[in-house]
């Protein structure tokens, strides 16, 4: 899948200095039809099949304009929109660490690199470009998630007796994790922002798919063997998007 750089203005009266500024268009090789996703903080994404004409996308958005507005309004009642700001500190409850962020601009640079020293994450380069800074922080988050989560997943695999072939780390927009039919467990690096109990539950949940690839009674019985409090944790996980900072740009 490839993300298109196109954005369609959603509301002419919208203040372009605020986030989000419009609708992101994402081209997907797996999409069979156009679809719209409204995220809790107001972000709107249109997923389109490859080679979809721009005028067809525009018409589709116009057709669903009222639904988009009402859905965003419903979300705003539950969660006050936050302005975009680059972080000065990053709190990661999932690994019980808090990291400071230092921005070191370099006028002649076209990219942003990260370097962790102690509890400070140094970003150097074109730090005046917010998108480059966020991309660098996300790369660091993915690296950190792999370092901390892979040993934990391996230990839980041994505990439960449920195997997997490899762990993949990504910033999924619609799920916290997944278990493919080939044995790959995908872990969302945004779990770093959640409490350890939710991280552990998510891993047990995905490992249980080694035995049952559905969400049948047998699957939940397998989850319950190692996490009796799974119902409460599953409900907490469903609402945990609120813990993800706005600057991450996923939810």
Q: Dump pLDDT digits (tens) for 62-120.
A: 999 998 888 878 877 766 666 789 999 999 999 999 999 999 999 889 999 999 999 99
Count of CB atoms situated within 10 Å of the CB of 12: 5
CA dist list (Å): 131 to 84, 188, 248: 11, 20, 10
For residue 14, what pLDDT band results from cuts at 50, 70 and 90?
very low
CA dist list (Å): 80 to 77, 83, 172: 7, 10, 23
Angstrom distance (rounded) from CA 194 to CA 239: 11
CA dist list (Å): 167 to 149, 152, 161, 191, 220: 9, 11, 16, 14, 22
Q: Which residues pair with 99 in a beta bridge?
A: 90
> What is the model's pLDDT at position 20?
39
Secondary structure letter of residue 26 according to DSSP: E
Query: Which parts of the chain fold into alpha helices (H)?
Result: 54-63, 65-78, 130-160, 196-208, 217-226, 230-238
Angstrom distance (rounded) from CA 161 to CA 157: 6
Domains and CATH numbers, the chain: 2-78 (no CATH), 89-248 (3.30.2010.10)
Comparing 40-44, 56-60, 159-163, 214-218, the range with the smallest average pLDDT is 40-44
* CA torsion through residues 115, 244, 250, 33, sign: positive
Count of CB atoms situated within 10 Å of the CB of 222: 22
Q: Is 185 left (phi over 0), alpha (psi -120 to 50) or beta?
A: beta
Angstrom distance (rounded) from CA 187 to CA 168: 6
CA dist list (Å): 200 to 58, 83, 207: 42, 31, 11
- 189-225 confidence digits (pLDDT tens): 999 999 999 999 999 999 999 999 999 999 999 999 9
Tokens 């470009």 identify what position? Answer: 129
**Beta 97-105 vs 120-125: how paired, if at all?**
parallel
């Amino acid at each position: 899948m490839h993300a298109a750089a196109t954005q369609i203005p959603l509301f002419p009266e919208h203040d372009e200095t605020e986030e989000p500024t419009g609708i992101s268009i994402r081209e997907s090789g797996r999409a069979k039809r156009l679809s719209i996703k409204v995220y809790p903080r107001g972000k709107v994404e249109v997923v389109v099949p490859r080679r979809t004409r721009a005028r067809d996308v525009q018409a589709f958005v116009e057709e669903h304009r009222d639904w988009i507005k009402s859905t965003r309004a419903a979300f705003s009642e539950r969660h006050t929109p936050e302005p975009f700001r680059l972080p000065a500190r990053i709190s990661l409850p999932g690994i019980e660490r808090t990291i400071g962020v230092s921005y070191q601009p370099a006028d002649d640079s076209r990219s942003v690199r990260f370097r962790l020293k102690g509890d400070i994450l140094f970003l150097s380069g074109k730090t005046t470009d917010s998108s480059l800074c966020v991309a660098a922080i996300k790369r660091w988050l993915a690296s950190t998630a792999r370092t901390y989560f892979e040993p934990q997943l391996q230990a839980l695999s041994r505990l439960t007796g449920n195997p997997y072939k490899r762990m993949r780390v990504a910033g999924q927009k619609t799920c916290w994790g997944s278990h493919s039919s080939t044995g790959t467990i995908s872990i969302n690096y945004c779990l770093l922002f959640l409490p350890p109990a939710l991280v552990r539950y998510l891993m047990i949940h995905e490992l249980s798919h080694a035995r049952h690839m559905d969400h049948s009674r047998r699957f939940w019985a397998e989850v319950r063997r190692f996490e009796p409090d799974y119902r409460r944790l599953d409900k907490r996980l469903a609402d945990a998007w609120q813990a993800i900072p706005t600057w991450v740009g996923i939810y």
